[in-house]
Amino acid sequence: MVNIDYALNVICKETKIIGTENKDLLSSVNRVLAEDIYSKDNLPPFNKSSKDGYAIKSEDTLNCSKENVCKLKVKGIIKAGDFINDTLKNGEAYKIMTGAPIPKGADAVVKIEDIEIKDDNLFIFEPINENNNIIKFGEEIKIGDLAIKKDTVIRPVEIGVLASLGYSSVKVYKAPTVALIITGDELVDINSDIKNGQIRNSNEYSLKALVTNLNAEVLSLGIVSDDRENLKEKMKYALEKADIVITSGGASVGDYDFVKDILKEIGADIKFSKIAIKPGKPVTFATFNEKLFFALPGNPSSLITTFEKFVKPTIEKIMGKDDFHSEQFKVIAMYDFECEIGREKYVYVEIKKKDGNYYAYKVGSQCSNHLMTMSRANGIIVIPKEIGHVKAGEAFNGEFIFGINFKKYIKE
Amino acid sequence: MVNIDYALNVICKETKIIGTENKDLLSSVNRVLAEDIYSKDNLPPFNKSSKDGYAIKSEDTLNCSKENVCKLKVKGIIKAGDFINDTLKNGEAYKIMTGAPIPKGADAVVKIEDIEIKDDNLFIFEPINENNNIIKFGEEIKIGDLAIKKDTVIRPVEIGVLASLGYSSVKVYKAPTVALIITGDELVDINSDIKNGQIRNSNEYSLKALVTNLNAEVLSLGIVSDDRENLKEKMKYALEKADIVITSGGASVGDYDFVKDILKEIGADIKFSKIAIKPGKPVTFATFNEKLFFALPGNPSSLITTFEKFVKPTIEKIMGKDDFHSEQFKVIAMYDFECEIGREKYVYVEIKKKDGNYYAYKVGSQCSNHLMTMSRANGIIVIPKEIGHVKAGEAFNGEFIFGINFKKYIKE
């Protein structure tokens, strides 16, 4: 039995980028850039007005005041998208719209709220500084400048930057294909009634949701019966077609737990087969050629816990997010409970915040096939290996589960 | 000009659920349940073994010890998925696999690691408690029990619960269709070279990414020229087909800013048309029948800022996530800067954490068309309306941007 940190280190060491792929711009959201992005243009590509107003020569306004109102002649209008091949002379102005190019000779824009206009005459009541309301050529970025660094997560704002630079596709780290093999002769399709001894195949659905939520590809081989030859064929097929193979169930100590034997038989390199975590002890991790194999427990909440802890960072690392640690914070237990000594316990709780502190409340039995408990939880507290009794008021490390945005579901 | 909180309150008041839709189970991830989910079964549907071991009568082991080893007769094996119509008698045992049903007459399971076996004889070295390693019928949930409450966000664990209860589809709140109208005669397609006075249409891409990231539907009408009749037709079409309409640009004070006029002309109810936020002042919010209309600024970072602040909570509320507030925390400014008095300033910064405190570092110009600055930022600090000078060391409210999981990208 290995410790959680040891397991994570071994997995992390074996996990490598599997390549890059070109994605059209909008499909690249939430993926990670596998190339540096350089600007092919100067942005803005011309001096441009940041306001609706009038393009002028600032020197014409040096002595303007309410007493000594300046008068300029409006020669025409420049809309966004226009380009005027004219040079402004002293005493002249162009009406100009936000985003439109500043005409030659002009060096400032006075905004529409600050002037008066009568026929073609523009009246200005104060001196206007040079460069006022002008966004300068190349101010945002210049040709050849690094715009976005390799290894950046592509958020909507990066989509905007890439579009403005004319990138309609980008190179991102390839998403792994994750094969799923669900073992267990007791499993029936979710549309079936359950007869004596049967339960529905929920693990396949949980795993599909977990994998697709990470933007990886799923190749599900569905329920595979506890028949050794059949299972072996499916495992070989999965290792051929996918980058990561996950089995659920069939890797414990029972007579029909063939997964480990088959891994040995086909020559996979088994790195460990038990982790000191609860729920979730019977986790086998193996490599076969460049492929990664996770045999996870069949108990639904052990499965989800070990996926989140061990498989998720693996998928994220392959996709360019090097994230083999989770953000933990202090949480105070609000109830007493007993737990097993010898494994690190991930206890599912409801975390509430009060006066800046976090508190953990009981949501149900921690029996490892109780998905209902997990469903009522928004976080976990981690009880160290050597602790067997927890008393209300004691503080432990905690984290929110399922990563995405869960702080906002905490009740204050 | 209205305050941010006033604007949010008005928008929130006008924002209503637009209906529900049935989704097949896997498509419902990250959506919000629009129905209470009740169990149609008892789970587990039978007393089941939580371990690989032997099903026994606990009373047979009352006096077992290392000195007084008990011997039971193994009658057969029960695999997961099997169902044995036999009643265990005193002195008998069944080998049993994890997940398999406990045979009648048995009331405990002794795990495989704790016994010895020779031929059909099972040797036990200690008393085994009643119910040991048995998960009881209905222990997780009973027929008719509430399994998941309406208004719950469907995470992978809820997918597992729903699958285990036999739900292959669920009712969720309907996602709105969001129409996009991009105005600006200076805009060209992202695949085009930019000529004098032109810029690429990045706003359409940013908006598509922002909307699809929220799981809402996009109906993009693309670039619409600054031609009043054409724009009016497109706005009417969008209001007919979509639940929310967003325009970018064309709603300021310029001669070609027709959006507001058209809204008045078609009889829309304009609630406000300026918000005291920087970047992003010229935001018009209007309602038309049951539809919501947001005229957002054309400057790229004003557009993204106002989308995140005003449109995102609207979309989320329609989809069942009532989330008209963001999680803020104290951040200490690490540089001096000047800013405009009279509007609340959203200053894009890099937030770093040190010794439990958060610090804001400069990432670039806050000019409202600098997407590059936003792209270097992981958060904002909010400078109150009345403040015009910020000094390093002063603390402000801050938040992370783009919601999802960004705490982990903070450098400690």
Q: Tell whether the torsion through CA atoms of B380, B382, B383 and B386 is positive or negative.
A: positive
Which site among A375, A378, A380, A411 would you substitute to test the B interface, given the most B Cβ atoms closer than 10 Å to its Cβ?
A: A375
Q: How confident is the model at residue A403 (pLDDT cuts 50, 70, 90)?
A: low
- Block residue for tokens 């010898």: A342
- What tokens does A228 get? 């050794």
Which residues lie across from B218 on neighbouring strands? B178
Q: Does residue B182 sit in the same domain as residue B167?
A: no
Choose one of A173, A188, A222: the last residue of a domain: A173
- What tokens does B67 get? 């000195």
Tally of CB atoms within 10 A around B412: 6
Q: How far apart are CA A114 and CA B181, in angstroms?
A: 30
* Phi then psi dihedrals of residue A406, to 5 deg: -85, -15
Report CA-CA distances (Å) from A318 to A159, A346, B268. Answer: 22, 26, 50
Is the predicted pLDDT of residue B323 greater than 80, yes or no?
A: no
CATH value at residue B32: 3.90.105.10
**What are the pLDDT digits (tens) for A52-107?**
899 999 999 999 999 999 999 999 999 888 888 999 999 999 999 888 999 999 99
Which residues lie across from B101 on neighbouring strands? B48
Say how far residue A172 (Cα) sits from the centre of its chain.
14
Q: Name every chain A residue with its beta carbon within 8 A of the beta carbon of B326.
A: 408
Per-residue DSSP letter, B26: G
Q: Does residue B343 sit in the same domain as residue B218?
A: no
Q: Name every chain B residue with its beta carbon within 8 A of the beta carbon of A100.
A: 186, 197
H or E segment to which residue A81 belongs: none
Give the residue ranges of DSSP H helices in A132-275.
Answer: 156-164, 202-213, 228-241, 259-265
Q: How far apart are CA A61 and CA A67, in angstroms?
A: 13
Per-residue DSSP letter, B368: T
Q: Do A198 and B226 touch (CB under 8 A)?
A: no
Q: Does residue A33 sit in the same domain as residue A163?
A: yes
Provide the shortest C-alpha distance from residue A254 to chain B (in Å).
6
pLDDT of residue B254: 62
Q: How confident is the model at residue B222 (pLDDT cuts 50, 70, 90)?
A: very high
Cβ pair B344, B385 in contact under 8 A: yes
Q: Do A80 and B252 touch (CB under 8 A)?
A: no
Mean pLDDT across B242-254: 83
For residue B323, tell me if it sits in a domain: no
Q: Does residue A59 sit in the same domain as residue A117?
A: yes
Q: Do B367 and A99 touch (CB under 8 A)?
A: no
Q: Do A161 and B95 touch (CB under 8 A)?
A: no
Q: Do B45 and A408 touch (CB under 8 A)?
A: no
The residue ranking higher by pLDDT, B322 or A270, is: A270
Is the predicted pLDDT of residue B404 greater than 50, yes or no?
A: no
Provide the shortest C-alpha distance from residue B99 to chain A (in Å).
8
Which residues lie across from B93 on neighbouring strands? B74
For residue B144, tell me if it sits in a domain: no
Which site among A205, A278, A399 would you substitute to test the B interface, given the most B Cβ atoms closer than 10 Å to its Cβ?
A: A205
Identify the closest residue of chain A to B185 by CA–CA distance. A81
Say how far residue B296 (Cα) sits from the centre of its chain.
24
pLDDT of residue B378: 86
- Block residue for tokens 């009406």: A95
The residue ranking higher by pLDDT, A109 or A323, is: A109
Is the predicted pLDDT of residue A253 greater than 50, yes or no?
A: yes
Q: Does residue B226 sit in the same domain as residue B286?
A: yes
CATH value at residue A100: 2.170.190.11
Mean pLDDT across B184-190: 90
The residue ranking higher by pLDDT, A367 or B241, is: B241
- What tokens does B395 get? 């603390």
Mean pLDDT across B317-325: 81
For residue A324, tell me if it sits in a domain: no
pLDDT of residue A400: 82
Q: Does residue B190 sit in the same domain as residue B267?
A: yes
Q: Give the CA diameter of chain B.
A: 100
**Helix (H), strand (E) counts: chain B:** 8, 28
Q: How far apart are CA A37 and CA A35, in angstroms?
A: 6
Q: Does residue A308 sit in the same domain as residue A206?
A: yes
Is the predicted pLDDT of residue A406 greater than 50, yes or no?
A: no
Cβ pair A350, A401 in contact under 8 A: no
**Can you give the residue range of the structural domain that contains B262?**
4-18+174-318
For residue B269, tell me if it sits in a domain: yes
pLDDT of residue A251: 62
Is the predicted pLDDT of residue A404 greater than 50, yes or no?
A: no
Picking from A148-162, A169-183, B319-333, which range would have the lowest pLDDT averaged per residue?
Answer: B319-333
pLDDT of residue B197: 85
- Block residue for tokens 């910020």: B390
Q: Which of A100, A163, A375 comes nearest B161 by C-beta?
A: A375
> Average per-residue pLDDT in chain B?
91
Percent of chain A past pLDDT 90, that is, above it, reads 75
Q: Does residue A24 sit in the same domain as residue A161?
A: yes
pLDDT of residue A408: 36
Which site among A36, A162, A371 would you substitute to test the B interface, given the most B Cβ atoms closer than 10 Å to its Cβ?
A: A371
Exposure of B392 in the CB half-sphere (CA atoms within 13 A): 5
Is the predicted pLDDT of residue B412 greater than 80, yes or no?
A: no
Q: What is the DSSP string of B204-237?
A: HHHHHHHHHHTT-EEEEEEEE-S-HHHHHHHHHH
Percent of chain B past pLDDT 70, that is, above it, reads 94
The residue ranking higher by pLDDT, B385 or B225, is: B385
Cβ pair B72, B91 in contact under 8 A: yes
Provide the shortest C-alpha distance from residue B305 to chain A (in Å).
10
H or E segment to which residue B204 belongs: helix B203-213
Cβ pair A326, A301 in contact under 8 A: no
pLDDT of residue B409: 38
Is the predicted pLDDT of residue A165 greater than 50, yes or no?
A: yes
Interface contacts A/B by beta carbons within 8 Å = 304
For residue A119, tell me if it sits in a domain: yes
Q: Does residue B314 sit in the same domain as residue B209?
A: yes
Q: Name every chain B residue with its beta carbon within 8 A of the beta carbon of A97.
A: 254-256
Q: Does residue B294 sit in the same domain as residue B375?
A: no
Q: How far apart are CA B23 and CA A412, in angstroms?
A: 32
Q: Which of B30, B152, B200 comes nearest A166 by C-beta?
A: B200
**Helix (H), strand (E) counts: chain A:** 8, 28
Mean pLDDT across B219-235: 93
For residue B140, tell me if it sits in a domain: no
Mean pLDDT across B6-27: 96
Q: How confident is the model at residue B354 (pLDDT cuts 50, 70, 90)?
A: confident
Q: Is B6 exposed, middle or buried (0-12, 13-18, 19+ CB in 10 A)?
A: middle
Q: Do A157 and B402 touch (CB under 8 A)?
A: yes
Mean pLDDT across B296-313: 93
Is the predicted pLDDT of residue A255 greater than 70, yes or no?
A: no
Q: What is the DSSP string of A131-143?
A: TTTEE-TTSSB-T
pLDDT of residue A23: 98
**What are the pLDDT digits (tens) for A9-24?**
999 999 999 999 999 9
Q: Does residue A163 sit in the same domain as residue A187?
A: no
Q: Name every chain A residue with its beta carbon within 8 A of the beta carbon of B98.
A: 252, 254, 298-299
pLDDT of residue A324: 66
**What are the pLDDT digits (tens) for B61-103?**
999 999 999 999 999 999 888 888 999 999 999 999 888 999 9
pLDDT of residue B251: 62
**What are the pLDDT digits (tens) for A368-392?**
667 888 888 888 999 999 999 999 9
Q: Name every chain B residue with its beta carbon within 8 A of the beta carbon of A156.
A: 206, 209-210, 213, 304, 402
> Average per-residue pLDDT in chain A?
91
Cβ pair B163, A372 in contact under 8 A: no
Picking from A55-69, A119-133, A346-360, B131-145, which range would have the lowest pLDDT averaged per residue?
Answer: A346-360
Q: Name every chain B residue with its beta carbon within 8 A of the beta carbon of A194.
A: 41, 45, 166
Report CA-CA distances (Å) from B51 to A347, A366, B109, B170. Answer: 20, 16, 8, 33
Choose one of B269, B287, B318: the last residue of a domain: B318
Identify the closest residue of chain A to B30 by CA–CA distance. A213
**Rounded to 5°, angle at Cα B350 from B346 and B355:** 115
* Phi then psi dihedrals of residue B143, to 5 deg: -50, 130
pLDDT of residue A405: 37
What's the structural domain count of chain B?
4
CATH value at residue B348: 2.40.340.10
Mean pLDDT across A243-247: 98
Q: How far apart are CA B78 and CA B246, in angstroms?
A: 62
Is residue B30 helix, strand or coil? Answer: coil
**What are the pLDDT digits (tens) for B191-206?**
998 888 899 999 999 9
For residue B324, tell me if it sits in a domain: no
For residue A323, tell me if it sits in a domain: no
CATH value at residue A292: 3.40.980.10
Is the predicted pLDDT of residue A402 greater than 80, yes or no?
A: no
Q: Name every chain A residue with its beta carbon within 8 A of the beta carbon of B202.
A: 159-161, 163-164
Is the predicted pLDDT of residue B411 greater than 50, yes or no?
A: no
**What are the pLDDT digits (tens) for B261-285?**
999 999 999 999 999 999 888 899 9
Is the predicted pLDDT of residue B239 greater than 70, yes or no?
A: yes
Q: Does residue B179 sit in the same domain as residue B168?
A: no
pLDDT of residue B175: 97
